[in-house]
Amino acid sequence: MTTHSSNHYFVPHGAIYPVALSAGLLSLAAGFVFSVATDKNQDLAYLQTPGHWMMYIGAAIILLMIFKWFGAVVIESVTGQYHKWEDKSFRLGMIVFIASEIAFFAAFFGALFYMRIISVPDLAAFDPAFTPYKDFLGTWPSAGPGGVVLGTEYKPGTLNPMGAWGLPAVNTALLLSSGATITWAHWGLLKDNRKQLVLGLFLTVALGVAFLICQAFEYHEAYTEMGLTLRSGAYGATFFMLTGFHGFHVTLGTIMLIVILLRSMKGHFSSKSHFGFEGVAWYWHFVDVVWLGLFIFVYWL
Amino acid sequence: MSTTTVAHHDEHADHPTGIMRWLTTTNHKDIGTMYLTFALIMFLVGGAMILGIRAELFQPGLQLMKPDFFNQLIGVHALVMIFAALMPAATGFANWMIPLQIGAPDMALPRLNNWGFWLLPPSAILLTLPFTLALFGIGDGALATGWTFYPPLSVQGGIGVDFAIFAVHLLGISSVLGSINIIVTLFNMRAPGMTLMKMPMFAWGWLITAFLLIATIPVLAGAVTMLLTDRHFGTHFFDAAGGGDPILFQHLFWFFGHPEVYILLLPVWGFIPQILQTFSRKPMYGYKAQVYAFWGIGALSVVVWAHHFFTAGLPVPALLYFMYSTMAISLPLAVLFFCWIKTMWKGSMSFETPMLFTVGWIILFGIGGLTGLVLADVAADAQYHNSYFVVAHFHYTLFAGGIMGIMAGVYYWLPKMTGHMYNEKLGKLHFWLTAISFNLTFIPQFFLGLAGMPRRIPDYALQFAEFNMISSIAAFVLGLSQLLFVYNVISTIRGGQKATDKVWEGAEGLEWTLPSPPPYHSFTEQPVVK
């Protein structure tokens, strides 16, 4: 049963943002395909430059439309169009959206577990008479049996995995503390203590940026010193795709945090109505929890 | 569709007309109409593709097209029919009917709703653009891997694969947005007094569908993203040299792909009992049992995926598990069949077109389900796998179970949506032509498959010639008789006998309390359900 005080639901006026956003995505996607077409067919090299331009134009449209769309919703919010009933829709929507994000990460965790438990050990379990990879041990971390096969000689590929207790441990501390600071900011908001809200959000943004800087250092070290790249077999693929998508989500989360920090400084949100704040906070906690999974299964174990 | 655009809300006083109305609309009926129109157009596009295939298969030998183009048509036909015809049709009905059925003023997140639709045309462009580009000598056409994108073929393929990957991404975003909207609407917008267990079956079907979409579509997005990085950025997810495995893709794909079957069917299972009770003039049997069966099927559907590749070399315990869990789905499904039949039992039935489609649907979908049970048997599947038996089986579930179910819904609700009655004679003719030619198309394929004809091959051995010829002729009759449907729908939109508010004598539910067609903004004051 639905319970709501007002009998009037706010149905927003139409807007061009969604359809323009889709056009931007079409341009970005088609441009990307043109840009990488030479990978499979050398004759398509002439598509590269138009492809790049389509990507730039598409990305610009997308950014502009996201800005305008969220802007319109913020204006509707501060002019008091949304009440309890609409607020509940936003909350439920955000929860379901985060659930879909969890499913997205589950695909990559699934790939990681499949490779660790099934495909890598299986490649080492062949009868030696039938495999070129005689010395492949199938232990994790692994770049796979790839390596070099010369006649009957086989040399497994080398792999330097990323240790858990250097920068990754620092990053864990950074993200966990940011979870605490945003909760502290929320307490401030609930008490209508604007100073605590703004300071808490500022600290959260700072911790998020620090995390991203550490991760940039980590990637740099992996590529330049350790020879660990996206091409490093099963470990390289799962390591960079999982941490990379997570880093992308941290970046989005940080941008969202900056937006609500600026809005808090302008005096938006009140102790009674602050879905914008809470939506970002939930998203941030989700990013935090995914990191814990990464730290345990990608770095540590 | 509805030309009476009376403005009730002050914020709607200036709502635009012409093309801008459709580009910017936040109205659930407008968006539903766009979804349904898009689905109908893409149904014809996908149908034209498969008629090309059936023309090639009319005789043994290569007549009309190169094998690579044949492969492209097959893969894009499936993607178009699943993602651009069946799913948008179900979403279109959700948009139109859920707010009317639960007494809501609109969908909960109207702008998101608009975006969900407007992601579809770009996806359709991405899917079909490679065909056009190939005409101008750019690239070698659309994806030729079949709709399942299996590596290593899909890792090697040309730009058609990349376009299809991004098309799937956009379609996935659209489905997730649609699901978010439907879940929120069902939880937050129901009329006071309408508890979850008083929701119409169609709303229940969609709720489970939306949960399945949220759980599985992102996994498909992840899988095709891995494919993209394997193709262009040197990862080894599906390459044994790096410790990956092509079978991993099959696991990820079918973790999405099997629930997808129920995503396509659950909305239909939602409105089938509503149509049955209307034309049997008695309440549906076993409402609670059907709701629980939906939950059971939804839960089971995400743990049975590997029965799609029994022959890929899984360990025996895994084969046994996936066989028994798959067969277990037939239990809740049997509950549904029992409830559908019992709803008709001793009712005073009449057979208008929606009811004809529904009864035909029960029989044909039943054949689809039973042949599925045969395929779920690991030992038997070794013979049937990748044969025309599979093709016939899933067309009984998805053409009969999906499309014919959707058509039952179209005939059932079209008078409500347009305010006009459709042409009953033409509707009945459409049903009989469809049902007969459908069976003539696909029954021969069961036997072709049992005799060993593999699917997705443009040529075949001589002993298969007669049955392929029958199947091809019937397929053209099936395809052409859909033009009757298009004609009937368009002429109903443009005019015809005025429909009453209740339309059908035995109709129950909030949507029948509104005028036909319902006003642009319905239920601005929520009704109270007792």
User: Domain ranges in chain B?
Assistant: 19-513
> Could you give the C-alpha distances from B161 to A29, A40, A53, B45, B144, in angstroms and in order?
12, 11, 21, 19, 8
What is the distance, to the nearest Å, from the Cα of residue B190 to the centroid of all Cα atoms in its chain? 26
Q: Helices (H) and strands (E) in chain A — how many of each? A: 8, 2
Helix (H) or strand (E) run with residue A150 in it: strand A148-150
The ipTM of this complex is 0.94
> For chain A, what are the domain ranges?
11-81, 84-300
Of chain B residues 311-350, which have a CB less than 8 A from chain A?
none
Helix (H) or strand (E) run with residue A185 in it: helix A167-190
Of chain B residues 36-55, which have a CB less than 8 A from chain A?
none
Helix (H) or strand (E) run with residue B379 in it: helix B378-384
Question: What band does A260 get if pLDDT is binned at 50, 70 and 90?
Answer: very high
Is it true that the peptide bond before A141 is cis, omega within 30 degrees of 0? yes
State percent of chain A over pLDDT 90.
Answer: 72
Nearest-by-Cβ selection for B115 from A18, A101, A142: A18
**B160: which 2 tokens?**
């058609």
What single DSSP character describes residue A155?
E
Contact across the interface for B235 and A21, Cβ inside 8 Å: no
Nearest-by-Cβ selection for A107 from B111, B187, B219: B219
Of chain A residues 53-72, which have a CB less than 8 A from chain B?
69
Of chain A residues 125-164, which have a CB less than 8 A from chain B?
142-146
| Residue B190: closest C-alpha in chain A | A2
Work out the minimum CA distance from B478 to partner chain A, whole angstroms: 34
Q: Which residue's structure tokens are 């800087």?
A: A213
Interface test with A, best of B11, B30, B231, B236 (most A CBs within 10 A): B236
Question: What band does A135 get if pLDDT is binned at 50, 70 and 90?
Answer: confident
Contact across the interface for B108 and A93, Cβ inside 8 Å: yes
- What pTM value is reported for the model? 0.94
**Assigned CATH topology for domain B19-513:** Cytochrome C Oxidase; Chain A (1.20.210)
**A189: which 2 tokens?**
């908001």
Contact across the interface for A26 and B125, Cβ inside 8 Å: yes
Separation of alpha carbons B416 and B522, rounded Å = 13
Q: Is A112 on the interface with B (CB under 8 A)?
A: no
Q: Helices (H) and strands (E) in chain B — how many of each? A: 19, 0
Identify the CA nearest to A132 among candidates A146, A116, A115. A146
Of chain A residues 245-264, which have a CB less than 8 A from chain B?
none
Percentages helix, strand, coil for chain B (3-state, rounded to 5) are 70, 0, 25
Work out the minimum CA distance from B221 to partner chain A, whole angstroms: 7
| Residue A11: closest C-alpha in chain B | B110
Chain A residue numbers touching B106 (CB-CB < 8 A): 9, 11
Q: What residue ranges of chain B have pLDDT lower than 50? A: 1-13
Contact across the interface for B235 and A104, Cβ inside 8 Å: no
3-state secondary structure (DSSP) of residue B514: coil
Q: Which residue's structure tokens are 């079956």?
A: B201
Of chain A residues 165-204, which have a CB less than 8 A from chain B?
none
What is the distance, to the nearest Å, from the Cα of residue B393 to the centroid of all Cα atoms in its chain? 15
CATH of A11-81, one of 2.60.40, 1.10.287, 2.60.220, 3.40.50: 1.10.287
Work out the minimum CA distance from A172 to partner chain B, whole angstroms: 25
Q: Is A95 on the interface with B (CB under 8 A)?
A: no
Q: Are B202 and B150 in contact (CB under 8 A)?
A: no
**Assigned CATH topology for domain A84-300:** Four Helix Bundle (Hemerythrin (Met), subunit A) (1.20.120)
